[in-house]
Amino acid sequence: MNKIDREKVVEAVFDKIDSLKNVSEAERTSLEIYQKAYQKAKNNPPKEIIGKLDDYTDIGIPLENKWEFSFGKTFETRKEMRNWARQILEGEAIAGVDGSQAPADKIISIPIALVRAVGFVNKHDSDYRRLEKYRCLTSEDSHFESADYLRLNNLEINYARFDLENEIALKSLQENPSLILIDNTFILSYLLFTKTGEYFKLHLDSLLQLLNQVEGESMIAGVVDPSQSKEISTTLSNAYEIKEKPVHDSSLLYQNLDLFDRSCVYRSKRKVLNRYQTTYKGNKVDYSDGIGFFYLRTHSHKPMKIEFPLWIHEEGLVEELADLIRGSCVIGEGYPYELSKAHEHVIISKKEKEKFYEIVQKIAQREGIDYSISQKEFKKRRPVR
C-alpha cells in the first residue's frame, strides 16, 4: 500500500497552524457574543422577542414558554439508564430509514446504477422487521440533461435514493410504528445550490407526499447529527442587532444543555419553506409553516437537531417524541439505535458493488446486450502488492 509520510503531513499542517489559530479564535469570539445574547434571552419568556422577528427569514420562532427543558432525571449506573429506556420503549415500534447507492461505474460500458433503501423496524419486544427495496437506473430514466446521454447523471442517482428512502418510510407504516426516523433533514435548503430547479422540485414533492401520508398515522422526524444550522443564532442576531455572523446552533446550545435536556420547539422560517406547497391526489399540501425542530443532547458531543412536522407539537406529542428518541439513543449508545441498524444493513460495500456488476454482466450476456469492462480502470483498482 502507498502509505502517507507522517512527518511530511505534520510539516504541512504546521504550515497552516497560524491560519487554524486565527479561525479558531474568530469562532470562539463569535460564540462568546452569541452565548451572552442567549443568556440574556433566557431571562425572559421566548414570546417577548417574537414580535421583533416578523419580517425576518432563516430564523427559528420559539413556540414554547421556556427556552430549554430539563430532562429532570439522574441515573446512578448505566443499568438504571437502560432500564428507564426499556420502560419508555416497551410496546413501541420505531422505524429507522437509510439509503445507499452504487453509481454507474465507468469500469463497465453499460450505464446502470443501483440504489438501495432499508427500514429497520424495532418493536422493542424482542422482535424486529427489516424492510428493503432496490431500484436500478439507466440513462433513459434521467430527468436532467447530461453532457453524455449514455451516462447517468449523479443528480438522478441521488434523487432516486432519496425517493426510495421515502418509499420505505411509507412501507414501514404497515408495521404500525410509533415513530419513523429519517437519516436526513426535512429542510431542503442544500438542494437550492444546484442549477437544476427540477432536481429540487422532485425532492420536495417526494418529501411532501411522505409527510402528508404519514400525518396522523405515525410521528416522523429527521435526525441531523451533526447539525450546522444557524436558525437560533440568526434569531438572536436579529433580535439583538448582533453584527457578527451567526454561529452553529449546536455549538451555542452545547454549553447549555445537559444530557437528555432539549431546547424549546422552534418553527423554522427558512426561506426554502416558502416553496413547501404541492398538490397530491387532488388535495393541496402545504407545509410552508409546518416544519419545526428542537435540539436534544444525547451524548457528550454537541446536541443533535430533531426536525418534524408541527402537527406533532400541536397535538402535544413533543415530549413523547423526545422520550422515544432518548430511549433509542440509550440503546444505541448516543445515536438512535434504529438508524444505526438501518445504516449497518444498507451499506453497499465494495464487494457487493462487484457482485452487482457481475449480475449485470451475466444478464447482459444472456440477453445479447453488448457489454465490456475497461481493463485500464480494472487494473487501477487492483490492490498494490
Say how many domains are in the chain.
Answer: 2
Could you tell me which residue, 223 or 21, shows the higher pLDDT? 223
Q: 290 and 375, same structural domain?
A: no
- pLDDT band for position 195 (50/70/90)? low
Same domain, 282 and 140: yes
Residues 323 and 191 in one domain: yes
Give the global pTM. 0.89
Q: What does the pLDDT average to over 31-59? A: 89
How many angstroms separate the Cα of 279 from the Cα of each of 162, 208, 271? Answer: 20, 9, 20
Q: 379 and 239 in one domain?
A: no
Q: What DSSP designation does 195 have?
A: S
Q: How far is CA 22 from the centre of its chain?
A: 31
18 vs 242: which has the higher pLDDT: 242
According to the model, what pLDDT value does residue 159 have?
Answer: 92
Domain residues for the domain of 249 are: 6-348
Same domain, 195 and 219: yes
Judgement on whether residues 235 and 376 belong to the same structural domain of the protein: no
Domain assignment present for residue 1? The answer is no
Looking at the structure, tell me whether residues 379 and 250 fall in a common domain: no
Q: How far is CA 80 from CA 76, 119, 326, 335, 336, in A?
A: 7, 29, 14, 18, 18
Same domain for 218 and 354, yes or no, is no
All three cell numbers of 263? 431546547
- Looking at the structure, tell me whether residues 340 and 373 fall in a common domain: no
Examine residue 226 and say whether the peptide bond preceding it is cis (omega within 30 degrees of 0): yes
Q: Is residue 78 included in any domain, yes or no? A: yes
Instruction: Let me know if residue 268 belongs to a domain.
Output: yes
